[in-house]
Amino acid sequence: MHHDDTPIGRVLTRRDALAILGASGFALFAANTFGQERRVGARSVVPSCVARPEQTEGPYFVDEPLNRSDIRTDPSEGVLKPGVPLALALAVARIKGRGCTPLAGAQVDIWHCDAEGTYSDVTDPHFRTVGHKFLRGYQLTNATGAARFTTIYPGWYPGRTVHIHFKIRTAPSSPLGYAFTSQLYFDDALTDRVHTLAPYAARGQRTMRNGGDRIFSDGGPQLLLAPSVSRDGYAASFAVGLQMD
């Protein structure tokens, strides 16, 4: 059986998050992303951001020097991992004072299993993939706090619901840098539909759903993606507000 570590951090409730932003806390839960401003009547409001709960990085994080947006290939072989394409964009902002601003220049790593439930570059009782680096990579956030990736919809493995790991760091090579680690999840009904397709269907019915996952139970509903259908597969964006001070 695969094992992720126990949850860390604390779930930020809506009341907690509003307390962070004070009087302008209404902007925290706006649906706007990527540093764009919303207009209310004749005035502009600050870019929105969403405080999110931190969760475990699990045992499969590898600090790879893979600066790339398309993480589907294995650099050692040039082989594209099969699966339903997923365009994933993260909008990273810093919560400061009574507002939030895009966080530029932060390193955002993502990693997840393939359609067969296998992670790259690790040793596990069920597989050994050291030297392979599929479905891993990082991007630096741009001036609007955005980091964009092309990947595939994840598969499943025993003991966990379907998820994607992500880590945000301001100075990866320095112990003084800020780091935030968490996971992203999918609606069970969507996963059920995707996993009826090849190559997922060959693995059979998954054994864990969101409601039974002990890590998802600690803040998972705040970490759900809402993918939309794209030309090739799905596209999803996700806003993360970081309380760094």
Backbone angles phi, psi at 76, to 5 degrees: -70, -20
pLDDT along the chain (245 residues), means of 10: 44 39 30 37 48 95 97 94 98 88 96 98 94 97 97 97 98 87 98 98 97 97 97 96 89
Does the pTM surpass 0.85? The reply is no
Q: Which CATH superfamily is domain 14-243 in?
A: Aromatic compound dioxygenase (2.60.130.10)
Contact at 8 Å (CB) between 28 and 48?
yes
Query: Using one digit for the tens of pLDDT, what is the confidence trace for 182-207?
Result: 999 999 999 999 999 999 999 999 99
- Radius of gyration, alpha carbons of the chain: 18
H/E stretch holding 108: strand 107-111
Q: How far apart are CA 119 and CA 144, in angstroms?
A: 31
